[in-house]
Amino acid sequence: MLVRIVKLTFKPENIPSFELIFKSTQPEILKFKGCKLVEGYHDVANPCVFFTYSHWEDAADLENYRNSEFFKNVWKKTKLLFDAKPEAWSLSKIDSEA
């Protein structure tokens, strides 16, 4: 499984627009092959910072999503709202016996 975390910083006046985009696209993202979870988080210390958190079966599924017309259209709208360059991490879970 691959975990994808993306940090997004928005101009204050654009926060409601991002929230609408996320709310409307989250169910559609979940329909993509290999997507197991999509959640959004809001930084409690900085109201302009959000994170998206998603689980994918593997890197190929994430790349297929990122290369889709759906993603390209959503990203085109979302990047107009930014106040800083987004940051993204792809992670694998550390297995533990505990």
Q: Taking the domains of the chain in order of start, what are their residue ranges?
A: 2-91
Tally the residues of the chain. Answer: 98
CB 3 within 8 A of CB 91: yes
Burial of 83 (0-12, 13-18, 19+ CB in 10 A): middle
pLDDT, one tens digit for every residue, the chain (98 residues): 999 999 999 999 999 999 999 999 999 999 999 999 999 999 999 999 999 999 999 999 999 999 999 999 999 999 999 999 999 999 998 875 55
pTM, whole model, 2 decimals? 0.92
Q: Which fold has domain 2-91?
A: Alpha-Beta Plaits (3.30.70)
